[in-house]
Structure 1
Amino acid sequence: MEKRTYTYKNTTFACYRGYITQAIINNLAPLLFIIFQTSYSISYEKLGQLILINFGTQLLTDIWATKYADHVGYRKCMVAAHGLASIGLLSLGILPKIMSSPYLGMAISVFIYGIGGGLLETIVSPIIEALPNDNKGGAMSLLHSFYCWGQMAVVIISTILLKLIGDNYWFILPLLWSVFPLHNMFKFIHVPILPLVKDGKSSTLKELLSHPAFYLSMLLMICAGASELSMSQWSSMFAEQGLQVPKVIGDLLGPGLFALFMAIGRTIYGYFGERIPIKGVLLGSSALCILTYLVTIFSPNMFLALFTCSLTGFSVSLMWPGTFSLSSGVFPKGGTLMFGILAICGDIGCSVGPWLAGIISDRVKNTGEGLTIWMNRGLTFDQIGLRSGLLVATIFPSLMFIGLILLRKKKSTVRA
């Protein structure tokens, strides 16, 4: 039998599937939050802690990867990432059912696939960046669009399956989704992979940290992660409890449309990115994000609030890949270290944003404190709590807007 030849096109598709895997491990559990809360009496704060464990683990893995990934090799890291993602998803379907503490079983599972997620987000982007391509920014955005398409697929397929099999059989979902990363693991054993910095002379940590522009890039990544995840991770519960709509509608119109709008934004930039200045786009995106957050939080119209909740996906679509591309242009020799540090900052935002929103939501729900505008509208403390948490999270797109204004004044390229 003739041996199959793998090309850079196969590498690109494997990377796309890698980001779909990332979407699975980041978005499946939040779809089950209502089930976890009703079946196992898990509080908002503990649900927020699951998000924190996931992205906190990814953050720690990012730190490890920035130092050792180049020595271990991209291929070994990618094979391990997909293997751990598959094991973690299998555990999520098994451990909560057999352990005396279901929450501990969830936490262990999230920790395992969080390691895989950290490796994926640190290594996949530099693999794509290293491939021959004249439109690096567009290629990066198109790569990240597959996270969104993956998120949308997770929401739609999982919602339909839950409707068919019933909430009591939720554990079947992670078991089924575990097959996808397992399949892609074998692909990464064979596809060709190039080094990111051709002469092997990447910037050192000291060189990167010596430039004020890099600190702004780090701030942008923190804000990008928090702006995206604060809304997307709580969008299903916000739609179901905050807006009092059925779970199927809440999942499809909340995280489902959120992912669709985010995918559209990234795909458009992936094809037309050469003609659009990324700094201006990011500035406009952060302004739109502030607006969609505020309308979602304060609108008395349920359908308008759902629409702007979803439209937030479009507003945040270019924040993460755009900051990667912007930083790569400013620091052309940043290498894996730069991508790793930015991924760490992104994970800090992904962890802190939803966690902070959960803490504020619980506090308002338990104490009865809230803005007068919501008290006068007859909202329940659950509804007021969720809105209050998201209101506090509005600080992140606001900080990003300010950071971008400062970054526009910096020198466009540095030799680091």
Structure 2
Amino acid sequence: MSASLHVSVVRPKLLTALSYGAMMSLAIGLNLLPVFLTTLSARFGGEAGLSNEQLGRLGASGFAGLVIGILITGPLADRRGAKLFAVGGNVVMAASLVGLAWCPTYGGMCALLFWLGLGAGMLDMVLSPVVAALNPERRTRALNWLHSFYCVGAVVTIGLGTLVLGAGGGWRAACLLLVALPAGLAVAMAALKFPALSADGKRTRMRVLAREVWFVAAMAAIFLGGATEAGLAQWLPAYAEKSLGYPVWMGGMALLVFSVAMALGRMAVGAAGGRMSPFAMMAWGCGATVVLFVAGSFFPMRAVALGACVLAGFTGSCLWPTLLAVTADRYPNGGASMFGALAALGNAGGIFMPWLVGWVADLLDLHWGLVVAAAAPALMLPLVLWMRRTNGVNAAG
């Protein structure tokens, strides 16, 4: 069989599996740096180390690349197809990791972290619509599995980085070990044909979607879903250490277990298939997460409080990917631009809520700051119930 015949037919199962692997690759771009902040501070800052602002600039560089990657990829993927950006995102990440392993200057680190984030943003934008297009009859299942592999990738990245440090290795060794994943995925994906990102290749324009009340509600809901995840995840180590009195290592372990709980939650939804309404799953997830946020913030036994925080990773895990799935089901012609708009709002929620938690914590304390994050799933619940009630009515596309 010729090579041209190999790429003339879409292979849904193989490409879906490679997309799951690419979601792990994406996780490298967002989870590698925090493990090595102390190491990089000493490497580039001399005896005094880098300032907190300089360390923050490293993280901000990666996040800036992520946002720009998402914003530019959505419209271009609708015009050029998903393959260019799925393969290109992995190539950019692999090249950035190699560059980071040998980078001699702080300025170079900022630039390369930007490119690492850009590659991650390209993947973040394109993987969900690709998997949705490959699995039109089971989008909720497939997208929850897809996003569970982000959590798996986060655990692998953090775990590998910690092991490298424990074995006496450093930033360079970790980068070179991790480069194999995006490089291998780029080669494997280059040999495959990708599906069109909208049904029959006919895309519903964003200006049409923006006039749909249901779609506006979905945008608000995913903003709250992103806020639910990040509001707790960003503050969990500090909360465990400063408010619950656990040692520093325990805060890091809590975040690791939180990521595992999120992965297991998304896998459980994926395994459940169509046995439960996706709207019902989101509603139960919202309600349970509110209860766990309150328990985690104020329960008098610190072990129970920390356990509630970790378990909230499980109950809140389905909100983002399931919301993507039900929106894609309602608007199958939305294309990559629709997924880009949803991802942008979800990430905006992930930026806003950690800031709000910190602001309230400065006014009162971190217990009250953390319980404010419960407002996100509480507000998402009535939106999800309304969306369930009106789903299928006057849908565009």
**How does the TM-score come out when normalised to structure 1?**
0.82
1:59 aligned residue: 67
Shift of 1:406: 3.5
Return closer, same or farther for 1:114/1:141 CA change in 2, 3 Å cut-off.
same
2:366 maps to 1:415: no
CA deviations on 1:34-74 (whole Å, 9 max, x unpaired) are 6668984544x776666555445433322222221122321
Aligned pairs for 1:318-357 (under 5 A) are 318-357=318-357
Q: Distance in 2 between matches of 1:71 and 1:89?
A: 29
User: Given the superposition, is the C-alpha separation of residues 229 and 31 from structure 1 closer, same or farther in structure 2, using an over 3 Å criterion?
Assistant: farther
Query: Which of 13, 17, 22 is the matching residue for 1:13?
Result: 17
Secondary structure, in 3 states, of the residue corresponding to 1:408? helix
Deviation at 1:207, TM superposition (A): 1.1
1: CA distance, partners of 2:371 / 2:287: 15
Shift of 1:5: 5.0
The count of corresponding residues between Structure 1 and Structure 2 is 387
The aligned counterpart of 1:212 is: 213
State the alpha-carbon separation in 2 of the partners of residues 273 and 400 from structure 1: 23
Residue range with higher mean Cα deviation, 120-129 or 347-356: 347-356
Aligned to 2:384: 404
Q: Within the alignment, does 1:139 sit opposite 2:147 as a pair? A: no
Distance 1:337 1:23 in 2: 22
Supply the distance in 2 between the matched residues of 1:296 and 1:50 (Cα, whole angstroms). 31
8 Å contact 1:31–1:251 — kept in the other structure?
no
- 8 Å CA contact 2:41–2:49 kept in 1: the answer is yes
Q: 1:200 to 1:220 in 2, by over 3 A?
A: same
Say if 1:287 and 1:51 are closer, same or farther in 2 by CA, change over 3 A: farther
2:127 corresponds to which of 124, 142, 150: 124
How far is the alpha carbon of 1:240 from its aligned partner? 4.6
- Does structure 2 conserve the Cα–Cα contact (< 8 Å) formed by 1:12 and 1:128? yes
AA matched with 2:383: G
Which structure 2 residues correspond to residues 65-214 of structure 1 after superposition, within 5 A?
Answer: 65-95=73-103, 98-99=104-105, 102=106, 107-131=110-134, 134-165=137-168, 169-170=170-171, 172-214=173-215
Alignment match, 1:23: 27
- Alpha carbons of 1:300 and 1:29: their partners in 2 closer, same or farther (altered >3 Å)? farther
The separation in 1 between residues aligned to 2:214 and 2:302, in whole angstroms, is 41
Q: After TM superposition, list the pairs within 5 Å mapping 1:25-40 onto structure 2.
A: 25-32=29-36, 40=49
1:20 to partner: Cα distance: 0.5
CA distance in 1, matches of 2:38, 2:243: 12
| CA offset digits 1:352-398 (Å, max 9, x no partner) | 3334445666xx2xxxx534xxxxxxxxxxxx4xx455344333223
Change (3 A) 1:271 1:290: same
CA contact (8 A) 1:85 1:116 kept: yes
Tell me the CA shift for residue 81 of structure 1. 0.7
Letter in 1 for 2:370: L
- DSSP-derived class of the 1:343 partner: helix
Moved more, 195-204 or 173-182: 173-182
Report the TM-score, using the length of structure 2 for normalisation.
0.85
1:262 Cα deviation from its structure 2 partner: 1.1
- On the 8 A contact 2:286/2:381 being kept in 1, the answer is yes
Identity rate, percent: 27
Equivalence for 1:380 = none
Q: Structure 1 counterpart of 2:124, which letter?
A: E
Which residue identity lines up with residue 333 of structure 2 in the other structure? K
Distance 1:276 1:238 in 2: 34
Moved more, 65-74 or 311-320: 65-74
Q: Is the 8 A contact 2:199 2:333 kept in 1?
A: no
1:159-308 matches, within 5 Å, as 159-165=162-168, 169-170=170-171, 172-252=173-253, 254-308=254-308
Shift of 1:139: 1.5
Can you list the C-alpha shifts for 1:157-187, whole angstroms capped at 9, x where unaligned? 3333333327xx3454334323321221111
Check the 8 A contact 1:152/1:255 in 2, yes or no: no
Question: How far apart in 2 are the matches of 1:296 and 1:399?
Answer: 19
Residue identity opposite 1:349 in structure 2: G
Distance 1:181 1:389 in 2: 38
Distance 1:81 1:205, change over 3 A: same
Q: Distance in 1 between matches of 2:384 and 2:244?
A: 33
Contact 2:132/2:328 (CA < 8 Å) preserved in 1? no
Query: Could you report, residue by residue, the CA deviation over 1:88-118 in whole angstroms, capped at 9, with x for unpaired residues?
Result: 44455555xx33xx4x555434321221122
Query: 1:52 and 1:390, CA in 2 relative to 1: closer, same or farther beyond 3 A?
Result: farther
Where in structure 1 are there 5+ consecutive unaligned residues?
Answer: 372-383
Instruction: Provide the rounded CA distance (Å) in 1 between the counterparts of 2:320 and 2:15.
Output: 22
Between the aligned partners of 2:295 and 2:57, the Cα distance in structure 1 is 27
Displacement after TM superposition at 1:77 (Å): 0.8
Distance (Å, rounded) in 2 between the aligned partners of 1:327 and 1:244? 42
Larger CA deviation: 130-139 vs 7-16: 130-139
For residues 41 and 389 of structure 1, what CA distance do their matches in structure 2 show? 29
> What is the alpha-carbon distance in structure 1 between the residues aligned to residue 23 and residue 124 of structure 2?
8
Residue 370 (1) aligns with residue 364 (2) = yes
Give the SS at the match of 1:275. Answer: coil
* Deviation readout 1:204-226 (Å, 9 max, x if unpaired): 11210111111111111112122
